Structure 1
């Protein structure tokens, strides 16, 4: 079981920033995930994922948000969240907080070992440290 922390007002604002970004830019088969990143300086950076017909070319929203923040000179990251927009044929029309994929977990951990990640655990939206989602990263035998 991972250690979780309750959300605060800034975390809810971050979820809303990711939600607003994907609501505004959603395009079927192009963009269906939005992410928002709060930097250590307090800046919020939001982005959408870029879908490609060849899956390995697709770039996740979290990676784009991290790249955008770094390109703007930000170096420290506090919290990140991703929100999925329903596809046009989904019955459930609600936006949902989603957990980062494995590659995004690696990227988040590489750039911010203490970063919080907002996700759903057992139906509850909470946050945890990236290390909880990627334990024992790059351990070497002693």
Structure 2
């Protein structure tokens, strides 16, 4: 899927995240998350969170979307929209994975109603990421 070229592109990306959220499996936390990742070629890759009774095995929506994009051959990410049932931000593990591929990633956070929307960036949420100096 590609993002249409119009002024409401970020709203479209957020709507794609909301659609992905409807597929989330979160019976334990009831914290449903959908993600839509915009790549530099205009393609969009979605993901949703998939919980497990053993919480450490839970897959976050952000990492599922990134894995879907990588599986499709994408490596250049522009923006990530998240649709959440409650206000929040990505976890530290997801932020570090984002850092690996898109250190300047734009992040759009929105609730399920579309009333709460916040735009931020990866450097704002993860100012001192882990990394090896080359």
- Per the TM superposition, whether the score is higher than 0.5 is yes
Contact 2:18/2:83 (<8 A) preserved: yes
- SS of structure 2 residue aligned to 1:62: helix
Aligned length: 120
Alpha-carbon spacing, 1:139–1:38, altered in 2? closer, same or farther (3 Å): closer
Matched-pair contact (CA < 8 Å) for 1:99–1:118: no
Q: Is the contact made by 2:38 and 2:80 (CA closer than 8 Å) also made in structure 1?
A: yes
How high is the TM-score relative to the length of structure 2? 0.78
Runs (4+) of structure 1 exceeding 3 A deviation are none
1:72 correspondence with 2:72: yes
Q: What is the CA RMSD across the aligned residues, in angstroms?
A: 2.4
Structure possessing the higher relative contact order (Cα contacts under 8 Å, 6 or more residues apart): 1
User: Does the 8 Å CA contact 1:77/1:115 hold for their aligned counterparts?
Assistant: yes
- TM-score w.r.t. length of structure 1: 0.74
Task: Give CA deviations for 1:39-76 in whole Å, capped at 9, x if unaligned.
Answer: 11110111111110011100101000000000100110
Q: Flag structure 2 segments of 5+ consecutive residues without an equivalent.
A: 1-6
Which one has a bigger Cα radius of gyration?
1
Contact 1:83 1:98 (8 Å CA) reproduced: no
